[in-house]
């Protein structure tokens, strides 16, 4: 209520005062239990600093102050004055590259619809419910780590289209009836994702676009893990945890490389293909397996030509197998339980302290350099350079 109404002095400026409070309430989304105290401090104590709006509608701040002056004579007297402000002043910032803040899912969806190239949307520590689509070009979304949580929705939680977007420092969680959808679906090109925590979902990450980069990604309890059908995508430093009987990293034929894959496994109950490369020209580097492995066998499968894998370490697994089932594959600095080769033109370098290397009798052009194992099962057409084996056997395949 305007101050003059308490003295039974009602006029149009009192309506102007009420309009100012309504605009303030809508623009700032004031909690109902705090509304009365805030309005009192704004009007009576002249605490203009209480008005904190989104940068996108920052121009409304001066209008709210002008409409809510305590003295009726200090306020706008006519509605035409308000209309003039709207006509002359840019109340909503539509410039490229402006900074925005979203405090809940509804606000974020609205900001994404109006975001322009260069926009940066900052998220607070809160839950953002529903599904979100990032379109256009060069939009940055920055959360505050695991306390910025995207919760269940009836479809894919985060869909990234367009190109040049950056998604940083947030958590996406899907469970229960929504577990059949994806946490993150990337349909665009040249986007980057960093410091993400992905929990649950049919696929934690599904990438259909090209030239995307993901680094520092934590994945847990996904049904099928990571699926990539695009080209030249880079995965750098990814940690997989949880019930790994559900995990699958699938890299079909159009994808170009994985980089620095860090997989942490626990609760393994059966044999599992943890890395499956079915495409050409894939590159795997700095692949590290960590965790408590007690049952079953973990496989790295190379099923397409011109793949390469380097710097593969096995920190605690007792049964890690590299299967090379295609041609023109190079592997170097490999530390695992065993290697099976059934392709042609294979180069194996610095695969040391293995239990067994098996090379199919039909293979040709296989070279082993600086390798060592307890058993080498191979025919005489394998070229050995500075390699040492406990004993030689004929392959059974």
Predicted confidence (pLDDT) at residue 94 exceeds the cutoff of 50: no
**116: alpha, beta or left, given left = phi > 0 and alpha = psi -120 to 50?**
beta
The shares of helix, strand and coil residues in the chain, as percent rounded to the nearest 5, are: 20, 35, 45
Nearest to residue 316, comparing CAs of 330, 336, 342, 286?
Answer: 336
Q: Which of 146-155, 160-169, 173-182 has the highest mean pLDDT?
A: 160-169
What is the arithmetic mean of pLDDT over 366-380? 93
Task: Using CB atoms within 10 Å of the CB of residue 255, give its burial: 0 to 12 exposed, 13 to 18 middle, 19+ buried.
Answer: buried
pLDDT-derived band at 297, boundaries 50, 70, 90: low
Predicted confidence (pLDDT) at residue 108 exceeds the cutoff of 80: yes
Predicted confidence (pLDDT) at residue 87 exceeds the cutoff of 70: no
β-pair partners for 347: 330, 367
For every residue of 11-52, DSSP letters joined together read: -HHHHHHHHHHHHHHHHHT--HHHHHHHHHHHHTS--GGG--
Mean pLDDT lowest for which of 55-64, 128-137, 158-167, 365-374? 55-64
Predicted confidence (pLDDT) at residue 331 exceeds the cutoff of 80: yes
Q: How many CA atoms lie within 13 A of 140 on its CB side?
A: 13
Provide, rounded to the nearest whole percent, the portion of the chain with pLDDT above 90. 31
Nearest to residue 330, comparing CAs of 353, 350, 346, 352?
Answer: 346
pLDDT-derived band at 299, boundaries 50, 70, 90: low
Predicted confidence (pLDDT) at residue 291 exceeds the cutoff of 50: yes
The superfamily (CATH) of domain 100-321 is Single-stranded right-handed beta-helix, Pectin lyase-like (2.160.20.10)
Predicted confidence (pLDDT) at residue 71 exceeds the cutoff of 60: yes
pLDDT-derived band at 96, boundaries 50, 70, 90: very low
- Which positions ≥6 away from 55 have C-beta within 8 Å? 93, 98, 99, 100, 101
Task: Return d(Cα 236, Cα 223) in angstroms, integer.
Answer: 21
Q: Check residue 267 and give its pLDDT.
A: 44
Q: Check residue 386 and give its pLDDT.
A: 96
Q: Could you write out the three-class secondary structure of 188-207? A: CECCEEEEEEEECCCCCEEE
236-286 pLDDT tens trace = 777 766 554 444 556 665 555 556 565 554 444 334 445 656 656 777 777
Q: Which of 193-197, 199-203, 317-321 has the highest mean pLDDT?
A: 193-197
What is the arithmetic mean of pLDDT over 197-223? 82
Task: Return d(Cα 52, Cα 293) in angstroms, integer.
Answer: 53
Q: Check residue 37 and give its pLDDT.
A: 84
4-26 pLDDT tens trace = 787 778 888 888 888 888 888 88
**221: alpha, beta or left, given left = phi > 0 and alpha = psi -120 to 50?**
left
Q: Check residue 350 and give its pLDDT.
A: 96
Residue with tokens 């965790």: 291
Q: Where in the chain is the domain with CATH 2.160.20.10?
A: 100-321
Q: Check residue 128 and give its pLDDT.
A: 93
Q: Check residue 237 and give its pLDDT.
A: 79
Q: Check residue 46 and give its pLDDT.
A: 78
What is the arithmetic mean of pLDDT over 67-83? 82
Residue with tokens 């059908």: 229
Provide the mean pLDDT of the chain: 80
Kindly give the interhelix angle for 12-28 and 79-88, rounded to the nearest 10 degrees: 40
Task: Return d(Cα 198, Cα 183) in angstroms, integer.
Answer: 6
More confident call, 221 vs 171: 171
């Amino acid at each position: 209520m305007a101050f003059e109404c308490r003295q039974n002095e009602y006029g149009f400026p009192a309506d102007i005062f009420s309009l100012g409070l309504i605009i303030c309430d809508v623009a700032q989304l004031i909690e109902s239990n705090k509304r009365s105290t805030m309005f009192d401090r704004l009007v009576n104590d002249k605490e203009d600093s209480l008005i904190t709006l989104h940068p996108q509608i920052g121009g409304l701040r001066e209008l709210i102050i002008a409409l809510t002056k305590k003295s009726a004579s200090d306020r706008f007297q006519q509605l035409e004055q308000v209309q003039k402000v709207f006509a002359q002043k840019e109340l909503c910032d539509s410039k490229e590259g402006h900074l925005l803040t979203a405090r809940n899912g509804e606000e974020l969806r609205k900001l994404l619809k109006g975001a322009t190239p260069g926009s940066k949307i900052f998220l607070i520590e809160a839950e953002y419910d529903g599904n979100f689509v990032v379109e256009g070009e060069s939009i940055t979304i920055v959360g505050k780590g695991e306390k910025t949580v995207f919760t269940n929705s009836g479809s894919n939680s985060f869909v990234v289209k367009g190109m040049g977007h950056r998604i940083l420092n947030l958590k996406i969680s899907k469970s229960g009836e929504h577990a059949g959808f994806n946490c993150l679906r990337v349909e665009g090109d040249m986007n980057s994702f960093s410091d993400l925590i992905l929990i649950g979902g049919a696929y934690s990450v599904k990438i259909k676009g090209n030239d995307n980069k993901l680094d520092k990604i934590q994945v847990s309890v996904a049904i099928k893990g990571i699926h990539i059908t695009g080209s030249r995508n880079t995965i750098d430093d990814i940690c997989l945890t949880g019930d790994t009987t559900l995990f699958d990293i699938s890299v079909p034929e159009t994808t170009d490389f994985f980089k620095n894959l860090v997989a942490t496994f626990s609760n393994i109950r059966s044999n599992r293909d943890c890395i499956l490369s079915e495409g050409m020209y894939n590159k795997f580097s700095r692949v590290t397996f960590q965790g408590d492995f007690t049952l079953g066998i973990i496989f790295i499968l190379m099923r397409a030509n011109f793949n390469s894998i380097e710097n593969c370490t096995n920190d605690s697994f007792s049964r890690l197998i590299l299967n090379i089932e295609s041609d023109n594959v190079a592997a170097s600095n490999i530390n695992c339980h065993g290697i099976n080769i059934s392709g042609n033109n294979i180069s194996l370098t610095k695969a040391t302290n293995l239990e067994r290397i098996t090379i199919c009798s039909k293979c040709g052009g296989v070279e082993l350099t600086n390798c060592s194992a307890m058993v080498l099962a191979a025919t005489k057409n394998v070229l050995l350079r500075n390699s040492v084996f406990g004993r030689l056997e004929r392959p059974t395949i």
